[in-house]
Amino acid sequence: MKVIVTTITRSPKGNPMRSSREINAEQVRIGRGAECELRLADPRVPLHARTIFFSRHGAQLYEAFEQFTDASITGVHRPQSLRPGMSVRIGPFQVDVTEPHHEADLALTVELVQPLPGKASISAQDIYEQARRSPVSKRALSWLLFAGILLFFLALPTADFFGGAPAAKPASRDARFLSDLQENAGRLAQVSWNPGQLAAGHQPFAHDCQACHSDSFTRVQDKDCRACHQNLGDHVSKESGKVPGLSDVRCASCHRDHKGEQALRTQIDHYFMGDCSACHGDIKKHLSSTKTGNATDFAKQHPQFRVGLVTGLNGATGKPDTTRVRLSDTAQLVEKRGLKFPHDVHLDPRGVKGPQGVEKMECASCHVPDGTGVRFRPVTMKQHCQSCHELRFELAAPERQVPHGNVDDVINTMREFYSYLAVNNIVLNPPPAAAGTRAPPGKPATPVRRLGGSMDVEAQVQAAATEIFERTTCFTCHDIQRIETPEAAPAWKVSPVLPATPWMAKAKFTHGKHDMVDCATCHAAPKSGNARDVLMPKIEGCRSCHAGNHPATQKITSNCGMCHGFHQAGHATVIPGGGAWPSARDAALLKASTFSAPAPAK
């Protein structure tokens, strides 16, 4: 629809002045609103006063603004056909319908016939004469405004920026008032340079611009960000390769502040909701050496989980060797920590036999949260195992036990005990013949062989050591290697138990948020009879509760940022129990002691 609108205004002498314009639209809205095609700028006109709509009957005028879709009209009432010669009053304006020329569908003439009170008597000539009679010339007024702008928006902010830390408050009241006035004036002037509110985490130094803008008149540099964020690493390590668009990008290219209290959080959420797939949708294209699979959405396309497993102790470095294995690679899914432990025996619903009778154990009996809700405290022999797995070596003295440590400490404890008996000529009363040592759960008790009242200390030590290392105690949980020598008594080497490392060290996962479900829901411990089993749930288990980027019924919407961080940690990998590898405690545990019992005296 083509409408010609002619606006009539009056000169100071009352002569009409006309200006025409052309409107091309399916409908013409008339009112004070900025979106109206025919805008009547007067406070007495409603935002949407009338609407002109063309139908097969010609131009129709409606009383109220309505939305039109296609050829239907909804909720419209009292149409009025527009014919040449008609006049319509809309507030103080008069709209006349005139005869359109051959190219137009409608022609309107608009004139303000009722000016606002008091405006009619003021002409442009009056305004000019009033300004000319002002005591301040236009040039002087311009310089005055320029000086004010220079002072408040340049001089004061610059002085406050370079003024340094505020001095101590003066003692006198008047001096204190002037000091506060100067400080507040400087901060107020800096508002003109501030593009917006800082993010919540940066608000403590909202009035200290130099905390981030260390160099004058330059954008924030990476060194300014790393002054606080010291442990943030790159997204891709330099050893893995250089990825264009990541290696040369600034921190502020992604983290743009001064956009509101939650702006940085919103930017990160926006990135994790879809921008990750720009590279990870075809990851080999951006980094050919990567072993990471393509990922676009957790529910639709995401590789099977990959876990870090301990494969043994490296003799050269003294540290555990680790490798990363997909949970789908069942042949390689074995963790070699040097420990024997059957979960199924200890989690038997009928219970296990303990010193206080049958005891029903559960996961929480040994696995205690570390307080952060992320991982668990280390399981120790003294706290979790020794109440059932006693370290007795002489049934005639059941209160005496060897320490749980390296082989040297075990042998020295035995030697001290039997030496004390020999020096003091103490003969122990042997236990009843039917007595035996405590057996591992599910196995029969082993008969005990002792030398009785023999005073041969080294023979007694050798017999007791053979008993606990090979038949009753240590071999239950540890791999024991017996070393035979031609001229000496046998020796034993205990394979070190390597501390558990996080299976998915870089995943942002907290057990605290999942404590509403039973441990066995995710970890199949009740069916595991070998400590080498990797009881990590596969991705299918997580998908039963977690959706991808898009909502799903009775599932949690989960974007990439829920489990992954963008920056690699800039510090050493932390293992359960605290500290970086290896701590003093771990180094002691890893010490594989070898003991050779002296040959019996001839």
Range of weakest confidence among 260-264, 309-313, 447-451:
447-451
**Are residues 493 and 592 in contact, defined by beta-carbon separation less than 8 angstroms?**
yes
Q: What is the mean pLDDT of the chain?
A: 81
> In this structure, is the dihedral angle defined by the CA atoms of residues 158, 163, 167 and 173, taken in order, positive or negative?
negative
pLDDT confidence of residue 301:
93
- Dihedral angle of Cα 377, 378, 383, 386, to the nearest 10 degrees: 150
pLDDT confidence of residue 365:
92
Q: Is 45 exposed, middle or buried (0-12, 13-18, 19+ CB in 10 A)?
A: buried
Q: Alpha helix locations (H) across 108-208? A: 124-132, 138-150, 156-162, 173-190
pLDDT confidence of residue 341:
92
Over pLDDT 70: what percentage of the chain? 80
pLDDT confidence of residue 328:
92
pLDDT confidence of residue 68:
41
pLDDT confidence of residue 452:
47
Token pair 């042998």: residue: 411
pLDDT confidence of residue 108:
93
pLDDT confidence of residue 432:
55
Residues 6+ apart with CB under 8 A from 169: 176, 179
DSSP, collapsed to helix, strand or coil, labels residue 384 as helix
Looking at per-residue confidence, does 272 or 431 come out higher? 272
pLDDT confidence of residue 124:
61
Reply yes or no on whether the pLDDT at 521 is more than 90. yes
pLDDT confidence of residue 164:
55
pLDDT confidence of residue 315:
81
Looking at per-residue confidence, does 581 or 246 come out higher? 246
**Are residues 588 and 404 in contact, defined by beta-carbon separation less than 8 angstroms?**
no
Tell me the mean pLDDT in the region 471-493.
85
pLDDT confidence of residue 309:
92
pLDDT confidence of residue 130:
65
Tell me the mean pLDDT in the region 404-408.
88
Two tokens at 516?
Answer: 């509403």
Q: Phi/psi of residue 568, each to 5°? A: -70, 150
Tell me the mean pLDDT in the region 294-317.
91
Tell me the mean pLDDT in the region 12-19.
84
pLDDT confidence of residue 537:
94
Reply yes or no on whether the pLDDT at 553 is more than 70. yes
CA angle 295, 376, 291 (to 5 degrees): 25
Q: Are strands 38-39 and 27-31 parallel, antiparallel or unpaired?
A: parallel
Looking at per-residue confidence, does 1 or 52 come out higher? 52
58: nearest Cα among 16, 17, 6, 1:
1
Q: Phi/psi of residue 371, each to 5°? A: 100, -25
pLDDT confidence of residue 125:
65
**Amino acid symbol at 530:** N
Residues 6+ apart with CB under 8 A from 309: 322, 323, 324, 325, 333, 334, 335, 336, 503, 534
pLDDT in tens, 215-237: 877 889 989 998 888 888 888 88
Residues 6+ apart with CB under 8 A from 561: 268, 269, 271, 272
CA 49 to the chain's CA centroid: 52
Range of weakest confidence among 58-62, 168-172, 301-305:
168-172
pLDDT confidence of residue 441:
53
pLDDT confidence of residue 170:
63
Tell me the mean pLDDT in the region 385-407.
89
**Amino acid symbol at 568:** Q
pLDDT confidence of residue 187:
66
Max mean pLDDT range (157-171, 192-206, 438-452)? 192-206
DSSP summary character for residue 511: G
Tell me the mean pLDDT in the region 361-380.
89
* Per-residue pLDDT band at 79 (split at 50, 70, 90): confident
Looking at per-residue confidence, does 119 or 477 come out higher? 477
* Per-residue pLDDT band at 523 (split at 50, 70, 90): very high
Tell me the mean pLDDT in the region 484-505.
83
**Are residues 266 and 248 in contact, defined by beta-carbon separation less than 8 angstroms?**
no
pLDDT confidence of residue 431:
58
What is the rounded CA–CA span in Å between residue 344 and residue 391? 23
Tell me the mean pLDDT in the region 21-35.
91
Tell me the mean pLDDT in the region 303-319.
89
Tell me the mean pLDDT in the region 453-477.
86
Reply yes or no on whether the pLDDT at 65 is more than 50. no
DSSP summary character for residue 94: E
Q: Are strands 80-81 and 16-24 parallel, antiparallel or unpaired?
A: unpaired
pLDDT confidence of residue 589:
38
Residues 6+ apart with CB under 8 A from 250: 221, 222
pLDDT confidence of residue 577:
37
**Are residues 475 and 391 in contact, defined by beta-carbon separation less than 8 angstroms?**
no
pLDDT confidence of residue 239:
77
Reply yes or no on whether the pLDDT at 180 is more than 60. yes
User: Up-side HSE of residue 512: CA atoms within 13 Å toward CB?
Assistant: 9
**Are residues 31 and 50 in contact, defined by beta-carbon separation less than 8 angstroms?**
yes
Tell me the mean pLDDT in the region 171-186.
69
Q: Alpha helix locations (H) across 259-397? A: 263-270, 277-280, 283-286, 343-346
Q: Alpha helix locations (H) across 426-551? A: 457-467, 539-543
pLDDT confidence of residue 583:
41
